Amino acid sequence: MTTTRDSSESTVTAQTSTVSDLVRRSAGRFAADTAIEFADRTWTYAELDAAVTAVARELVRLGVTKGDRVAAYGKNSDLFVLLYLGCARAGFIHVPVNYQLKGDELDYILSNSGAEIVFADADLMSAVTSTPTGASAQVIDFADLVPVATTDSIAPAGAGEFSVDDTDVAQLLYTSGTTSAPKGAVMTHRALVHEYLSSLMSLPLILSSN
């Protein structure tokens, strides 16, 4: 399989400085194309972009401020992605947590990351609240994001509504901690965008209607 790229490829990095920019750019170019399919839900790029803004606003409503840590404790899903991108749009730090961790291991990451709000799958919420840190945190079911993200007529993010720079931290990724306590690797928007684009550039992709 050969690789085919369009003439705009050289401008991607210049126009895409944050994780949120990736979503916004894709929505502008491929609005009606499918971005995510999960269970009975399908999101076009335009719908994804709007949903990301709605999730970002919901996090603000919940009291999250720029630089705050938001933990995500659940299995892979469209809602997991929406939370990550919503955090990225608003300038919050997304902390993905391995859903297989329990007890002291889970509590360590929640405590060490400084997360005061935790989104979890319904069947995992008790694992969070049973830890010392989780018991005092705001714990929210991922499913609560569905009505937020699917609301009709979500207004686009206004100019200056969210201020995010490529040097801002986007994610805190914890190592496996096989020989010592897990350590949080700080990932900026710039680092993640470069990582994503480098991965795409190395794949044998052919542009198509899909």
State residue 7's pLDDT score: 39
Q: Enter the CATH code of domain 16-156+168-202.
A: 3.40.50.12780
**Exposure of 150 by Cβ count < 10 A (0-12 exposed, 13-18 middle, 19+ buried)?**
middle
Give the DSSP H or E segment for 38.
strand 34-38
State residue 28's pLDDT score: 96
pTM attached to this predicted model: 0.88
Q: How many residues does the chain have?
A: 210
Using 50, 70 and 90 to split pLDDT, how confident is the model at 177? low
Q: What is the mean pLDDT of residues 45-70?
A: 98
Name the percent of the chain lying above pLDDT 90: 79
- Express each pLDDT in 132-146 by its tens digit: 999 999 999 999 999
Provide the CA 38 distance to its chain's centre, in angstroms: 16
Using 50, 70 and 90 to split pLDDT, how confident is the model at 181? confident
Higher pLDDT, 7 or 49: 49
Q: What is the mean pLDDT of residues 35-52?
A: 97
Nearest to 164 by CA among 71, 78, 70, 93: 93
Other CB atoms closer than 10 Å to residue 141's CB: what's the count?
A: 16
Ramachandran angles phi, psi of 81, nearest 5°: -65, -45
Query: What is the domain partition of the chain in residue ranges?
Result: 16-156+168-202
